[in-house]
A and B are shown apart, each in its own frame.
Chain A
Amino acid sequence: MADRSVQGAGIQIKNLYKIFGQKPANYVDAVKKGMTKTELNEKYNHVLGLRDINIDMPAGCIQVVMGLSGSGKSTLIRHINRLIDPTAGEVIIDKSDVCKMNQNDLREFRRHKTAMVFQKFALLPHRTVLDNTVYGLEIQGLSRAKQEEQARRWIERVGLKGFEDNYPNQLSGGMQQRVGLARALTNDAPILLMDEAFSALDPLIRMDMQSVLLDLQKEIKKTVVFITHDLDEALRLGDRIAILRDGEVVQQGTGQDIVLKPADEYISSFVKEVNRGRVIMVDTISTKGDGAGNAGGVTVKTGTILEEAAKTMTDANQQHATVVDESGKPLGVISMNNLIQAMVTPISHLTHQAAE
């Protein structure tokens, strides 16, 4: 609570390798020299979990790690609080390497620097909502009054006021995950780790929880690491997205980067299905010129997504709009035509990318 202003802490993952098996250390060098996952598995019966992961997660941002099952995303997030030990590499948080901490330091680090939300909620079934929520603070040894004060605030904040004395199995999945979120937030750690936190929820509740998280993030500005297998979710939440495949990062950047410039066919095949109107920003399609002649007085702010811009323009019944910066200075013009073109997935997308 003392460092309210300095929320979040950057996380740097450097050259991280994870090999599962009897003697992982023996094979790191071979993997570094380029041994494939298949070869490692077939010849030496070891599984390559992560290969040469380098991600720089800036403080106060939502970093999404996306990948399908088996891509190593859950393994990766467990390296940040070292629920899994790496085979090689560094995880630097606040200038110290999590991988080199001794048991005591690690415990203190987990208590004060990180909080985690789990896919299967992982609530204590014998404790009420309130008693689950205080868990992190109880472990830290705070007085019960302080624990409850914090916990009640967050329970209310996630919309569970009135359910303090219920047991987890009296709640629906969505509500249980709110408890999971409240438990993590009550810990007031600068880093929030969310392992497929919303994957077990049905689509409407999931959208709802995403909004809760985005709302909260505006206020708490923590470093959130969010794991998901859902690109729409990744694009909605992520300030930055890293895409994992077979234990390797295949692309990282903003959502827009990924949608506009997918690094390979694997990613393009995902991106094809995405609602581009919700990802691409007006800046991408705006053309130079003040457009004073035909913009008809409609302005949209820089960073607005296409879908919203289209709504503003149709509401005003205009074919053009001026893109302005925060202070209202015009930056360029967009036309409805360009806008619709950008929103419809180009059919040539795949071939176009391949040609580049």
Chain B
Amino acid sequence: MDWFYSFPKMNDETLRNLKKAMDEGFKAFTRSYGDVIESFFQPLQYFLIQAEKFMTSTPWPIMVLLIAGIAWIASRNWKIVAGTVITLLLIGYFDMWSDAMKTIAMIFVGTVVSIVVGIPIGIVMARSDTFQRVVNPILDVMQTMPSFVYLIPVVMLLGIGKVPGLIAVVIYAIPPMIRLTNLGIRLVDKDVLEAADAFGSSSWQRLKNVQIPLALPTIMAGINQTIMMALAMVVIASMIGVQGLGQPVLRSVNGQFFSLGLFNGLAIVGIAIIFDRVSQAYGMRLQKHQEVVHG
């Protein structure tokens, strides 16, 4: 009755060999393809470094003005702009300016990559049920797999630094972008699509004139979610050498510095709120035509 009380498991020896084989296989893969993969991500690194350089080397008053300007253009709302400026000034006053800029650069690049990669995938998914069946479980894995686990192969391949951090951020942040693009396009009113067909739209015209514009509120919600998830990844990404607000948080966990952790944590929250309010207000403004209703 032994098998009844302890689960019949694989032979220890076999299991050890299996793991060893997998590890060695992956190491061999890393050795032979690591360089190729690294050069593949070279442009990304360049983009990231440029963004970070720009954010950190621009004098702070100009940066504050610039961000406030973007907030104004996107939201046209004085309250949001005022909140943005106050948050930025507080972050600077508490000596977190340069870390905050590095984090914003990271989030910016991560979000751009997620949008550029995610929207086309979402569009293809909306057009093909087969593709959707394949992609959905992958997205499930990306969202539920503990991030540390996929950090391991990324670090093995690309070492420690910005690019692996960015990849980790993108893996974590891209699923809502893909899912909501897919959902938004699938939810587009069938009647309007039929009208587009009846006038002889090609499939590109259908996508450009009808599907994307009508799916835009959902796509914007996806972008908003992606930004939020990218910010949530900042601390974890700091474990593999990403600079920014995550590193002091990590230090404070190791050294039990309560106030250091709290300040940097609050700075992340502040940036998150800015990004969220500005991107949501922009999304609402794009949907201006839905607010004015015939009475």
Residues of A within 8 A of B (CB): 81, 83, 107-112, 114-116, 118, 120, 122-126, 135-136, 138-140, 167-172, 187, 193
Q: Which chain A residues border B199 with CB–CB below 8 Å?
A: 110-111, 115-116, 135-136, 139, 187
Contact A83 B292 (CB under 8 A): no
Q: Once the chains are docked, how many angstroms separate the CA of A138 from the CA of B197?
A: 13
Given contacts A125-B192, A172-B294, 16 further A-B contacts (CB under 8 A): A83-B198, A110-B197, A110-B198, A112-B200, A122-B189, A124-B214, A126-B213, A126-B214, A135-B196, A138-B209, A139-B199, A139-B205, A140-B200, A169-B292, A169-B293, A170-B293
Q: Once the chains are docked, how many angstroms separate the CA of A225 from the CA of B32?
A: 68
Contact A122 B195 (CB under 8 A): yes
Please provide the 6 A-B residue pairs with the shortest distance between their CB atoms, ordered closest to farther.
A110-B200, A111-B200, A122-B195, A167-B289, A116-B198, A122-B191
CB<8 Å pairs between A and B, sample of 14: A83-B198, A107-B201, A110-B198, A110-B199, A116-B198, A118-B194, A122-B192, A124-B214, A125-B214, A125-B289, A126-B216, A135-B199, A139-B199, A168-B289
Contact B194 A139 (CB under 8 A): no
Decide yes or no whether B259 CB sits under 8 A from chain A.
Answer: no
> Mask for B242-267, Cβ within 8 A of A = 1, else 0?
00000000000000000000000000
Contact A124 B198 (CB under 8 A): no
Contact A123 B198 (CB under 8 A): no
Give the number of chain B interface residues (Cβ < 8 Å).
Answer: 24
Q: Once the chains are docked, how many angstroms separate the CA of A199 from the CA of B290?
A: 24
Q: Once the chains are docked, how many angstroms separate the CA of A111 from the CA of B198?
A: 8
Q: Which chain B residues border A108 with CB–CB below 8 Å?
A: 200
Closest to B206 in A: A139
Q: Which chain A residues border B130 with CB–CB below 8 Å?
A: none
Contact A169 B209 (CB under 8 A): no
Q: Which chain B residues border A115 with CB–CB below 8 Å?
A: 198-199
CB distance from A111 to the nearest CB of B (A): 4
CB distance from A119 to the nearest CB of B (A): 8
Closest to A128 in B: B289
